[in-house]
Structure 1
Amino acid sequence: MASELLQSQPEIALFLSLAIGHLIGSFKLGPIQLGGVCGTLIVALLLGQFGPRIDADLKNIAFALFIFALGFTGGPQFFANVGRGWRYGLLSIVEIVSVLALVLIAVVLMKLDAGTAAGLLAGAATESAVIGTATEAIGKLDVASAEIARMQSNVVTAYSVSYLFGLITIVLFTSQLAPLALRVNLREEAERLWRKLGGEGALEDGQREAIAPLVARVFRVGPACDGVTVGAIELRYGSSLTFEQVERDGVPTTVGHDFVLANGDIALVFGRRTALLAAAHDIGIEIAGRDVFGAATGKRLDIVLTRKDAEGATLAELRQRAKPEQGRGIYITAITRLEATIPALPGTRLNRGDVLTLVGAKADVERGATSLGYPLRPTQKTDFVYLGIGVLIGMALGHIGGRVGGIALSLGTGGGCLLSGLLFGWVRSRHPLVGSLPPAAAQILKDFGLATFIAAVGLSAGPDAIKLVREYGIALPLVGILMVLVPGALSLVIGRYLLKLDIPMLLGAIAGQQCSTPAISALVGVTGNSTPVIGYTITYALSNILLPLMGPVVVGLASTLG
C-alpha cells in the first residue's frame, strides 16, 4: 500500500524526505551535526526502496537555482580573496590537488567507477554541490543508460557513507588533533591573537557577552576640559569616543569637531567602553540617573563595503585615513563575511563586499554609509529579470566544453550557473541599484534548491544503494577519512612552517577548505573567540566555488582510468 501511494504520488516522498531529513539533521552530538542535506539524503535513500521517482526536470531546475544562488552570494568575496588572500587561498589549492590525487589513487587501487569516485570527493570534502555537477557530467558519458543510472546512484551512496566520517574527522582534526600535533594551547594562542589584532584583553566568554562594547555616559565637564575643543579630546583617545550633545545653560546643543567646552557643561559622550573609562577622569564627574537627552546615539545601519582603498586595509588604518570630521561618531561593531561574523578589531583586514554594521548618531552613520559603500536596506523584493537572465546565461555557459588529454570535459548546467552566479553577484556588489536578491531569498533558493535536488537523486538511487555498500564495505569510510587527514596535514605543515600563519586562523582556514561549518563552530568553542573565522571565510569562499567545478573533472578522469 505504501509503495503504491509513493509511486503514484512521488511528491509525498519528496516532502517526507525534506521534513524527516531536516529533523534528523538538526540533532547534535557535541559539535557533530549531520545537517539537513545529509539527513534528507539518508531518508530519501530509504524511501527510494519503495520506488518513487521525481521528474528529472524538477531536479535540474532545483539544482540550477541552488548553484546560481551559491555563486551569487559568494561572488564578491570570491573575487576579493583571489588576489588579497593568496596565502590562505593556497590552502584551498592544496585541498583540491590532494583530494583529486587521492580519489584517482582509489580509482586505480579499488577499481571505482566514476560515480563512486565523485561521491567520495563530495562526502569527504563535505561539499554537497559536487553531487550535482558530477551527476550531470555522468549523464553525458557515452555509455548505456542503465550504466549511467547506476553510476549516478553511486554518487549519492558514496557521498552519504563518506560524509559522516569526513565530518567527524575534520571536526576532531581542527579542534583536537592539530593543536596536539603542534603542541600548543589553542585557547591561549587565540587570546594572544585577539590582543595582537587590538582586542581588549583576555576576557572570559561570559564577560565578553555581558559587557557592552559601546556605551553612552553623561558628564559634568570639569576644569581640565574648560576651553578645550571636543575634537582635541576625541583625538586624545584615538577617536574612540564622541561628544554627541552638550547642554549649556539648560539648552541641549548638537556639537561638532570644533565645539569648545566650558566648565559646568553637561555632556553626552558615546563611544567604546574602554575609551570612556580611560577618559572619565579628564572629562569631569559622571552624572548618574540623568536622562541622556533622548539622543539617538544607538542608530544601527548595515552597509556593503565598496570603497576601493578600503580593500585589504585594517579597521585602524581605515580610521587613520579618514579626516576627523569624516570619521567622527562612526563605530564599526561587526563585520559579516560570507554569512559569518568575524571580529571587528583594529587589526582586522577588510574586503570589498564585507557587510559592516555601523553604530552612532543617525547623521554620523548615514555619512559613513555614503563614504564607505551603500546601505543594505531591508527589502523583500527579488529582481526576477536579473535572476532569470543570470540562470539563462549560466545554462548557455554550461554547453562550453572540450577535450583535455583525451578526457571530455564540460561545465554543464551546474558549472555554468555557478560561474554566472559569481559574475552576477560581483556586478551586484559594484552596482547595488540592480539585481536585488535579498539574503533571505538567496538562502531559501540555496536551501530548498539543494535539498530538493538531493531528495530527488536519493529517491532514484535507493534500490542500488545497498549493493554499493556491500561491495566496498568499510573501504569507503576509510578512504573518506584519509581524504580529510591528508589535505589537512599538508595544509597544517605548509600554513605553519612556510606561510607562517597564526595557528587559530590557520585551523579556521583548514575548516574552510573543507567547507565544514561544524568544524568552525567547534573551533570557536575551543578558542573562546572568533579569530579562527577570519581564516575560515577566505578558504571557504574559494573551496565552495572550486570544489563543485571538480565534479566533472573527477568523472572524466575516473572514466578514462577505469
Structure 2
Amino acid sequence: MLTWFIDTLQKYPEIAVMLTLLIGYLIGKAHIKGFTLGTVTGVLLVGIAIGSFHISIPSETKSIFFLFFLFCTGYGIGPQFFQGLKKDGLPIALFSFIVCCSSLLFCWGIASLLHFETGTTAGLMSGANTCSAIIGVASNTINELDLNDDQKTTLVNQIPIAYAVTYIFGTAGTSWFLSVIGPWFMSGSRAKLIEETKELEAKVSEASAEGEENITNAYDQVAFRAYLVNGELAGEGRTVGEIEDMLHDKKRVLYILRVRRNGKLFETSNGFIIKPGDIIAIGGQRSAAIASESLLGKEVADAELLTFPVQSASVIITNKAANNKPLKEFSRHPEFHGISVRKITRSGIEMPLSAHTIVQKGDVVEMVGIQQELDKAVAVLGYKERSGVETDIVYLAAGIVAGTLFGSLSVRLGNVPVELSTSGGALIAGLVFGWARGIHPRFGYIPAASQWVLTKLGLHVFIAIVGLSASEGFLKGLKEEGVTLFLAGVVLSLLPMVVALFLSKYVFKFHPAIGLGACAGAHDESAPLLAVQDALNSKVPALGYTVAYAVANITLTTSGVIIVLLMHKGG
C-alpha cells in the first residue's frame, strides 16, 4: 500500500501539493497552549517531509502561484503605500524604511561574520523578518547569477531551510518582545502605557470629564431604539433639528428617524416639531443612546415604529473633499443625516473609530442608514464598493503581465546582471494597479475574498512546492547550521526592533501606542500588532501599522534581491 501511495504521488505530483496543503494547514493552525506554528511554516515542513519521496515538480509551476501572491499583496496595500509617501504619512514611512534597511545591514553583517552561504543568508532574512516573499525573490535572483545549475540549486535549496529555522521566533519572539518589552521601554510599564493610550483615546474622541462612555467604540455599534419623549427633551415643542443639535452638542451623534403620535406614524424632517408624549425612533451610536436615556425619556418596545428598511454600504474613499478629514466633520453634514459609521478598514486592518479618526483615500468605510440617505452620503465620500463576487480577470491578468514584463528588463553592474525580476515586477504592478483602482474604483474590482484566496493560496502552493523540492538537503543543512542559524535568527529578529523602539521614542517621537503599531508594521507581520493591541486593550496601535506595513512589505521584499547580490559579491 505504501509503495502504491508513493508511486501515485510521484506520478501525479499535483496530489502531493494538495496533500501538503491539507496536512500543513492543519498543523500550522493547531493551537498548543496558545502557540501556533503558523500555516506557512506548517506547509513548508510537511512539504519537506513528503518531498523525501522524491516528488518532481516543474519549477515554473510555483512561479505562477507566486505571481498571484505578489500582485494581490501589492493590490491590497497600494493605496496606503502611496498615501504613506505624502506629507502626513511620511514620518511613519521613513521610520519603516530605516528599520528595514537596518535589518538588511544586520543580516549582511551576521551572515558575513558566521560565513553563511548566499541561500542561507536569504532564508535568514526571510524567516527572521517573517517576509515569505523574500524566498521567491531571492530564488529568482540566484537563478540569474553567473553560476552553474548545480550551484544555483544548492543555494536555492538553502533558503527554505534557513526560513523554517528562523521563522517561528521571527513571529512569536517579536510578538512577545513588542507586547512585553515594548510598553516598558516606551512608557516605563504596561499599566502606564495603557493609561496613556486611554488618555489619547479620550482626547481624540472629545469625551467629557463627566465620565461619559469613551466615543472610541461609539461608531462601532449602530443601534435603532424607540423612546417616549419627556418634557425635558421637547419642552413645549422643539423641531427635530433643534433636538439633534442638542444631542450633538453633548457629543452624542443621534438622529430622529420616525415619530409615532397618537398611534399614527410620521416620517420626520428637520423642521418637524416633537412634542412630549411622542414616541421617537432614534438611530446612531449605541453608547450615545445609552448615555442619553435620561434626556431622551423612557425606552419603549415599538416594533412597528422601528420596522423600516435599513441597509449597509461599504464606500471607498475617493473624493478629494473627503480625504484626510476627521469623521466629526461628516456628523453635521446635511447629506449624512441618519447615517452611522460602523467601521473603517485600511489595508485590511480595522481602524480605531472616534470623532477624530481621519479617513484617507483608499479606506473602506462601512455605513448604515436608510437607502435614500445612504445614496447621498456615498456621493460625498466616493464610490460604493460592489457587493458581487466576480473578479475583474482582465485587470488582474493585465497587471501581472505588465509587471512581469517590466521586471524582466535587465541591466548589468559589472559582470552581474541585475533585474527587478518578474516577481518584483508583479509586486510593483500590484501596488500601482491597487492605487489606480483606489482612484478610479469603477474598474479593476477584486473582492476581498478573492484577494484572500489568491494571496493565501498563491503563497502556500508556492511554499508547498519549495518544500517538496528542497527536501533532499534539508536535514543535512539543519544539522550543519541548526543551532547557530536559530540564534542568528533570534538576533536578527530583535535587533531591528530595538532600533525601531529607539527611533520611535527618541527620534520620531511617536505616541507610544502608535509607535508600537509602527514597529509591528515595520516587521511586516500582523501577529505583533495583534499582540500589542491585546496588551493595551486598544486598536490605537493600528494607526501606526498600515503605512509602516506597506513600506516594509516593499522594502523587505526588495531586500531579497539586495542580500543575494551583496553575499554573492562578497563571496
8 Å Cα contact 2:342-2:366 kept in structure 1? yes
Q: Which amino acid aligns with 1:509?
A: A
Mapped pair 1:15 → 2:14? no
Instruction: Assess, with a 3 A threshold, how the Cα gap between structure 1 residues 258 and 208 changes in structure 2: closer, same or farther.
Output: closer
Q: Distance in 2 between matches of 1:126 and 1:521?
A: 15
Instruction: Assess, with a 3 A threshold, how the Cα gap between structure 1 residues 9 and 314 changes in structure 2: closer, same or farther.
Output: same
Q: Distance in 1 between matches of 2:42 and 2:204?
A: 39
8 Å Cα contact 2:28-2:40 kept in structure 1? yes
Shift of 1:524: 2.0
What is the aligned counterpart of 1:364 among 368, 373, 381? 373
3-state secondary structure, aligned to 2:343: strand
What is the aligned counterpart of 1:69 among 67, 72, 83? 72
8 Å Cα contact 1:270-1:297 kept in structure 2? no
Shift of 1:299: 2.5
Mapped pair 1:187 → 2:200? no
Matches within 5 A, 1:95-494: 95-182=99-186, 183-184=188-189, 185=191, 186-198=193-205, 212=221, 214-220=223-229, 222=231, 224-238=234-248, 240-283=253-296, 285-296=297-308, 298-319=310-331, 322=333, 325-403=334-412, 408-494=417-503
Q: Distance in 2 between matches of 1:58 and 1:199?
A: 55
1:506-556 per-residue CA deviation (whole Å, 9 max, x = no partner) reads: 112111111222222222221112222222222112212222122111111
1:231-284 per-residue CA deviation (whole Å, 9 max, x = no partner) reads: 12212222701010123344322212232333443322222234334544445x
Q: Which amino acid aligns with 1:427?
A: A
Matches within 5 A, 1:33-52: 33-52=36-55
3-state secondary structure, aligned to 2:367: strand
Q: Distance in 2 between matches of 1:278 and 1:19?
A: 50
Q: Distance in 1 between matches of 2:393 and 2:217?
A: 42
Shift of 1:474: 1.4
List alignment gaps of at least 5 residues for structure 1.
none
3-state secondary structure, aligned to 1:242: strand
List alignment gaps of at least 5 residues for structure 2.
none
3-state secondary structure, aligned to 2:275: coil
8 Å Cα contact 2:224-2:281 kept in structure 1? no
1:444-473 per-residue CA deviation (whole Å, 9 max, x = no partner) reads: 111111111111111111111122222223
Shift of 1:215: 4.1
Identity of aligned residues (%): 32
Q: Which amino acid aligns with 1:267?
A: I
1:216-240 per-residue CA deviation (whole Å, 9 max, x = no partner) reads: 2222353744342211221222270
Mapped pair 1:28 → 2:9? no
Shift of 1:31: 5.5
Shift of 1:29: 4.3
Q: Which amino acid aligns with 2:543?
A: I
Q: Distance in 2 between matches of 1:92 and 1:326?
A: 38
Q: Distance in 2 between matches of 1:406 and 1:308?
A: 48
Q: Distance in 1 between matches of 2:273 and 2:413?
A: 73
Shift of 1:406: 6.9
8 Å Cα contact 2:517-2:544 kept in structure 1? yes
Instruction: Assess, with a 3 A threshold, how the Cα gap between structure 1 residues 108 and 417 changes in structure 2: closer, same or farther.
Output: same
Q: Which amino acid aligns with 2:480?
A: E
8 Å Cα contact 1:336-1:354 kept in structure 2? yes
Partner of 1:560: 569
Q: Distance in 1 between matches of 2:53 and 2:129?
A: 30
8 Å Cα contact 1:131-1:551 kept in structure 2? yes
Instruction: Assess, with a 3 A threshold, how the Cα gap between structure 1 residues 479 and 445 changes in structure 2: closer, same or farther.
Output: same
Partner of 1:495: 504
Q: Which amino acid aligns with 1:62?
A: F
8 Å Cα contact 1:31-1:519 kept in structure 2? no
1:30-61 per-residue CA deviation (whole Å, 9 max, x = no partner) reads: 66433211110011112222211211221111
Q: Which amino acid aligns with 1:87?
A: P
Q: Distance in 2 between matches of 1:32 and 1:362?
A: 45
Give the alignment's Cα RMSD to 1 decimal.
Answer: 2.5
Partner of 1:536: 545
Equivalent residue pairs, number:
556
Q: Which amino acid aligns with 1:219?
A: L
Q: Distance in 1 between matches of 2:554 and 2:303?
A: 52
Mapped pair 1:508 → 2:517? yes
8 Å Cα contact 2:235-2:276 kept in structure 1? yes
Instruction: Assess, with a 3 A threshold, how the Cα gap between structure 1 residues 31 and 413 changes in structure 2: closer, same or farther.
Output: farther
Q: Distance in 2 between matches of 1:527 and 1:439?
A: 28
Q: Which amino acid aligns with 2:570?
A: L
Shift of 1:298: 4.4
User: TM-score w.r.t. structure 1 length?
Assistant: 0.93
3-state secondary structure, aligned to 2:324: coil
Instruction: Assess, with a 3 A threshold, how the Cα gap between structure 1 residues 482 and 405 changes in structure 2: closer, same or farther.
Output: farther
Q: Distance in 2 between matches of 1:530 and 1:421?
A: 28
